[in-house]
Structures are given as C-alpha cells and as structure tokens.
A = this chain, B = another copy of it.
C-alpha cells in the first residue's frame, strides 16, 4: 500500500473522496465538474480521475455542458446513471405493504403498493405477500445484477444490526427476525437493512423532502400508532441499538387511557387517530376514511369536529413542547395524519408551545407539514439501502470491475 508524505494511506483518502463525490451527486442531482470542485474541496484533476472511475463502472455519465456565457471552457456535467445501481425498498405499514425499485440518485423506477385491512396479520402472510410483490417489480426493465441491496421500513421497533423486530404492536408482532425472514423469502444474499418507518420517513424528508438543508429536526408521524424520527446535527438519531425515536410513548398523562404498549397515558393515546375519532364521535377504529369525514365536518364548521381537533392539537403541543425543550430542533415536520390535520391544529399547538416550551428554543422552531406523503418511509428505506455504496463506493467499483472481467 502506497503511503503519502504525511503518513495517511492513499487508499483511505481515495475512498473518502469517491464517497464525497457520489454523495453530492446522489443528494443534489447532476453537477458540473466545477460545482463538484466547489462542493468537495478536491482539485480539478483529482475530480476528473475519480469521475472516470464511476463512468468506467457504469455508475455515471459525463456530458458536455451548455455554454453559459461565463468565461472559460464550459465544465462537463456529471450525472449518476439511475439504472447503474438500484436498490429494492420494502415497506410494512399498518394498512398497506409496498415494494419499490429506486435508482442511484433517488429516481423511483417501480413502485407497487397494496392495501391491507389494518389489524394483526401473521408474519408468514406478510412475508409471502411481499415476496410476491417483489417478484412482480423484479421482472421489469432493470437488470437484477445491478441490485445492490434491500432496505425495509416497518412499523415497529427494530434492532439495526440484524433487522430483528423487537415489537410491532400495531401488527401484533413481537421478537420477529424480520431481516433473515425477508432474506430467505426474497432469495437474496445481498445486504438487507431494516429500520423503523418513522425513522426512515425522517431520513427521506431530510434528503429529499421538507427537511432538506436542516440539521436538527423532529419528524412526527402517525395514524393509529405515533412514531418519530429525529435528526441531530444532520444525522438520524438511532440510539444505542436503533430503538430511538419512539416518541409515541412519551408519558404525558398519568391518568390517561391504557396504551397498547402496556403503559397508560402515552402520548399516542391522546393524539393518535383513535383519540381524534373518539372525541369527534366517530367509530375509533374507522381508519383514514373516518378521519377524512372529521376534516369535512370541521370545514363545514361542526363544533364537535373542531373541538376534537383542538384537543388533539393541544396534546400534540404538550408533547412537542417536551421534545423542543430536550432537542432544540429548528424544524418540526408533521407527517401522516398530523400532516393532514395540520391546518386545524396549528393554533392549539403554538399555544401549548408558547406555554410549555422554553421561549428561546420555542422561538427558533418552525412547524410544517411533511412533503413526501404516503411514500416517505419507502423512500427512506431506499436511502438506507444506498448508504453502504455512499459510504464506500470503492468497494462497489472494484466488484463491478471483477464482474466485467468474469463476463468478458
């Protein structure tokens, strides 16, 4: 291994530089060589060499830029090849399952979502249904030799190291080795990364949605269950094992109603879909269509509907005040049901924040609806699956070269 004058191994530096380039292109889209120089701090000649490696491996293309009226030669534009490396994204939500194929750079190439009746379903059934969905998207335009990994979003608490689902109360699952079950069912020996759906929703909003450019974010999402994804200094907060972000089980009301987790008065018992529907006089298990009915009533001025939304907004503000005091975020993103009810709860949330969050922290935080909608977690699962390539593209470039030699 060659060593440079200051004792750092050149190979380490090369890997870090390849990573910096592919991250920029993946996050920001096509960039000129000049923009890459500005973004990475590398020299123009180094950029040229490193880009060449991506182009040779079929992961990027370079094209002559338009003349822009600026002096000097136009800088060629580098663009990732979306089918050069793809990932499979899988989601297990409360009321649907979904599979997507996403290309390097973030383009969604295929996406199939199938609704399921909410409630408990066996692991066997869900895994079999996912295998079937995966087979349909796999047999399309892209070549499976370019599949570099699988990312899975699941509505439960996940140990990141091995994709073990410790509990998923909304599915009725406990202690499910989901990572290994899916590896067998999808017949892959490539990497499978599993994470909580709210954590992945936050990651997606950070990379491609409303939280872009923000480093300290609280994402709260939910329907029946309430989940959270937290970004600290630009990085997802996972905690020691990956269980972080379970904001739905903040204790906010010790005299409150029993929670599916075994405790009582958890935040989600006061702000979840069932609380809203119960307060509005609708069947608590009515699901999203009943929530839409409550919103229609509120638009028409119905007092019970407006009162129910106000109560949920107040409790939403109470818990958010606690999170603002602990985390000092600049942005709170409301996803899922909270995104849909956002216009009706903003005033109540702000009132509780003004009362209960410390002013210095409260004044800095904006509250906005999430942008990516129902597919946020699926997009986050794809980002999770791309992470190994973004961290160490050199490994993938080498593999690509070996494959090319083998098939020659």
| Contacts from A to B (Cβ < 8 Å) | 2-10, 12-14, 16-17, 41-43, 45-47, 49-50, 157, 159, 166-167, 215-216, 228, 230, 232-233, 235, 237-247, 249-255, 261-263, 266, 318-319, 321-323, 325-330, 355-361, 364
Contact = CB atoms under 8 A, between A and B. Distances in A.
Contacts of A233: 235, 237-238
A316 to B, nearest CB: 12
B361 A46 contact: no
B7 A4 contact: no
A243 B324 CA distance: 9
Query: How many copies of the shown chain assemble into the complex?
Result: 2
A369 B188 CA distance: 47
A296 B266 CA distance: 36
A285 B328 CA distance: 30
Contacts of A240: 215-216, 328-330, 364
A3 B5 CA distance: 10
B49 A7 contact: yes
B325 A359 contact: no
Contacts of A235: 233
A254 B251 contact: no
Given A46-B7, A355-B262, A360-B157, A216 B243 contact: no
A355 B263 contact: yes
B329 A239 contact: yes
Contacts of A215: 240
30 contacts: A4-B13, A7-B42, A7-B47, A8-B13, A9-B41, A157-B360, A157-B361, A166-B359, A167-B359, A216-B239, A228-B326, A237-B327, A238-B328, A239-B327, A240-B330, A241-B360, A243-B361, A244-B327, A245-B326, A245-B328, A246-B325, A247-B326, A249-B357, A250-B250, A250-B322, A251-B252, A251-B322, A253-B254, A254-B318, A266-B356
